[in-house]
Structure 1
C-alpha cells in the first residue's frame, strides 16, 4: 500500500525540482489544480492515471521512487552520456556524430546556426520504442 504522506513529499520534491507551482504542474500533466492540492495535503491518494501522467510528462521520475521512495530522483539510468553538441555550434554535426550514420540521421547545421542571441538549452530525441536521448547544454 502506498504511504500518502511520503508520496506527497516526493511529489512536492518533483514539483520543486522542475521549479513549478502546483498550478503550472497540474497544467503540464493535465489534471485539475485541486487534484494536486488534495494529494499534497494527504486528503486523496493518487490514482494510477495521475501517476502515469506524472511519469509520461517527466521522464526523470522513476515509478518505483515515486511510489515507494526507493531508487533515485532524478533517474540516473535514463541520463545518456552524449557528445557536447553545444560547445561549438559552428562545428559540423558530422564531427559529433557516429561517422557510420547516414546523413538522414544527422541534425542539419541550419538548426544549430540560429540567431546568435539565442542558445540551445536542451535537445531531446524520442524513439518509437519509447526510449529517448537527452542532450543538455553544459553551462
Structure 2
C-alpha cells in the first residue's frame, strides 16, 4: 500500500509534508509509512479516501482495479492555478462553491474599506496593587524578608 500512497502523492505533485498537512495528520506518520516502518492505519486510509474522493478504494486497499473511480478523468482532477484562476478547484468541490468563495472574499474586501466611527471606550478600573512582602535570596542560602508596614 505504501507504493500506492507514494503514487498518489506523485500524481498530486505533493511532498510527504504537504500530503500529511492536507490530510491533517502528523508528518511522521507519512514518513513512517513511506519508509516501511509502519503500515497505514484505518484512520490514514479513511482520510485519504475522504479527502481524495476520486481515488478507487479497492485500488488503494487491495491494489486491484484502476487508481481512479470509474468516470473520473485523471487529467481534470486538479486544475493548476494560473494568472486568472488563483484558486484550485478540487473534484469534490462544485464550481458553485468556488464562485461563492470568490464572492465572499470580495464582500470581505468591501467591508474592510468601510469607514469606522470613533467611539468612546470606558476604561475598567483595576484595584490598586500594593506590595505586601519583599524577599531577597542570597547565594549562601540565606534570605531577608521585608514588609512595607
Range into which the TM-score falls when normalised by the shorter chain:
0.5 to 0.7
Q: What is the rounded CA distance, in whole Å, between the counterparts of 1:60 and 1:78 in structure 2?
A: 9
Name the count of aligned residue pairs: 83
For the Cα contact (< 8 Å) 1:60–1:78, is it kept in 2? no
Instruction: Tell me the TM-score normalised to structure 2 length.
Output: 0.50
Match of 1:21 among 2, 15, 20: 15
- State the structure with more CA Rg: 2
Q: CA deviation at 1:74?
A: 2.4
Which position in structure 1 is the counterpart of 2:48? 54
Please, which runs of 5 or more residues in structure 2 have no aligned partner? 74-82, 96-149
Gaps of 5+ in 1: 1-6, 81-116, 127-139
Aligned counterpart, 1:39: 33
Counterpart position of 1:79: 72
Using CA pairs under 8 Å that are at least 6 residues apart, name the structure with larger relative contact order, 1 or 2: 1
TM-score (norm 1): 0.53
